[in-house]
Structure 1
Amino acid sequence: MPTMTPTQRFQGQDLLRVGRDDNYLLLAPSQGGRLVRWVHRGQDILYWPDDADWTRVAKVRGGNPLLFPFIGRHFVDGEAGRWRDGAGVTHDLPQHGFARDLPFAVSEMSEDAVSLSLTSSDLTRPGYPFEFVFTAIYRLVPDGIAVTLRTRNTGDAALPPLPYYAGHHFYFALPHQARAQSRIVMPPASRVRQQADGSLTAPEPGEPAYRLDDPRLQDTFHVLQAAGTDDVGSVRVELPARTIEIGLDSANSAPWYAVTTWTERDDSDFYCVEPWLGLPNAIHHGHGLRWLPGGTEETATCRLILR
C-alpha cells in the first residue's frame, strides 16, 4: 500500500492524481473507483458534468464507471434487479452490479499507473455470495491509456465457480451538435438489443461504420464476431477534435465479447462506447457469461490511443 498518494482538488473533492504536467488521470477510489477525468495535452477526453452530485456519484453521467460483477439489467420472472443461481436461489443485485457504488482501495501506485481493488465483504455477499478481489488498473501509455480489469476468485477451489461479466462505461466528451460530423468504425460485429423481459433480439448484420447520430446505435450491443480469438481488432471513434482507437485484441486477456453504444438525450454532450465481457442478463442466457474457479484469476485489457 502506498504511504503517500498525490491528490488534486476538483469540485470540492480530493481526487487521486496519476501522471504529470498536462497528461494525467483523476480518480475517486472511494466513489466506486471512478475515473473522473482523463486529461491529454491539456484537453479533457472524458465528459464530466460541472454540476456533478458528489453525494450520488454512482448516478453521475461521466468519467468511466466500473461495471461488476454483472453488466446491465438482469431479470427473474420479468422483475429487474434480480438473478437466480444454479441452486434456484434468487438474489437482489442492482443494474450494472455494485462496484460503482462501493469504495475501492489503492493497492498499488506509481507515477504513471494505479491499481484500485474492491474485495468481497458483508456489503457484497447478500447479492453475490462469492469471495473475490476485483481490480482496475489504469496505466498512462504514449498517447493514451491502458486499462486492465482483473478478477480473482479467492474462494475455495471445491466451491462452485464464480460467475461474472465485467465492463467499462466510457463517457467520451462530444458536443451534441457534432454527432453528425462524428462516426464509429467497428470490427465485424452483429447488432443486438435487450428486450423488456431481459431476452435478446435476434442478431442483425452490423455495419463497418456509423455516424454517431445514427439511431441504430442507441442502446445497442455490437457482438464481436471474432470474440474469443486473438484478433478482435479495434474500435475507432472519429470525433472532430480527435480519434480514439480502442484496442480489443485479446492475447493474454479474457476476450471482449461486445461493444455497447449509448447516449442519454439528443442534447447530451457525451457519447458512450463501452467494451463489455458479456451481455446484460448473461447470468441467465449465457451470452458472454464467464466462470472463474476458486483460486484462479483472469484479466481483460483494452488500450485507448489518441490519434
Structure 2
Amino acid sequence: MRLNLFKCIYCESVGHIRAFLVKLVQFLRRNWLRITVFVTFLICVWPNRYAPHYPYIPTDEIYDELVEKTTQNVSHQMAGKLSCDYNEVIKENHFMYREPYISTLLDGSDIRLGGEWMPSKCAPKFSTAVIVVYRQREQQLNAFLIYIHNFLRKQLIHYRIFVIEQYDQKPFNRAMLFNIGSVYASQLDFPCLILHDVDLMPMNLGNLYVCTQRPRHMCSSLDKFRFNLLYHGLFGGVVSIETKVFQFINGMSNKFSGWGGEDDDFYERIKAKNLEICRFGPDHSQYTMLKHEQELPSENRLAFLRNGSLRYNTDGLNSLVYKEKEVKLHKLFTHVLAIT
C-alpha cells in the first residue's frame, strides 16, 4: 500500500516537473528577445556587478596602510592642534561626482595662491602634491580644477595642484612631464606624489589622495573599461607614490613620446626594485573619464618596453633634461611651462 502511494507521489512529482520544464522552454522561446534586451540593459546600468575581482586592501585596513607625513611648514603651523580624523571619510565613502561639486567651485576663498589648501580646524596628517600633465585641453583642465578642489577639501588633507604643460610641438611626453613635476614638488618638500591624468575624475571620497606604504594604482575601477581592471599590471591614469620611492626607482622613462607604453615601463621599474603595488577596493576606486580624442600610439613604445630593463638606471630622473619656460602661481594651480 505504502509502496503504491510513494509511486503515485513520485509519478505525480515527475509529471509536474516535466510540465514545468515544457512551459519554461516555451516561455523562453516566445520571449528570448525580451530576455536578451533585459539582460543587456542590466549589464549597462550595473556594469561593475560583472567586474572581475582583484587583490585589494579591505576598507577596515586602509587607514593602517597610509603613510602619515606632511611638509615641514605644515608641521610647524599646526603644532598643538588636534589631528584631523580620516576614518569617517574612508568608512562613509560618499559619492561625490554630482552637482554642485562638478560645475561650481564652492567657496574657494580658502585656497592659497598656487592651488594649495590645508584644513584650518584640525592638523592634517598628510601632504600631497597632485601632478597633472597637460597640453591643449583647456576645457578638461577647467572641469578638473573645479571638481578636484571641491573633492580634496572634503578629505581634510594638505595638498597642492601642479599643472605641468608641455610647451612645444613635439609628441606629448607624459612620463617626462611627471618627472618634471616631481622635481618641483620635491623642492617644496612634498612627501607624496599623485601622478594624475587631466581627464580622470575620482567618484568616491574614501579614495584618499595620500600615499600608501606601497605604490598605489588609484583608478582600478574606470567607467571607460566598464569598471573592470583590464590586467593586474595596469598602472596608469592615477597613481600615488612616495617622493622618496619615485626617486629610488629613478622616476619614469623619458623615452616614451606619444601615446602608450610608459605606464607598463613604470610598473616594470617598480618590480625591478622588488617593490609591489596595491589597490583599494572597487567601491573606493571608481573614476569617470572625460571625453576626448584618442592620442596617436607611439611607434617605438614596444621596442622601448622590450629593452627597458637596460635603461632603468640611466633613463629617468637622473637623465632629465628640459627647459623651464615659465612658472606662474594661479589661484587654483601652480603652472609650469616646460620645453621637453
TM bucket normalised to smaller: under 0.3
Q: Pick the structure with greater CA Rg.
A: 2
Tell me which protein shows more helix as a share of its residues.
2
TM-score, structure 2 normalization: 0.24
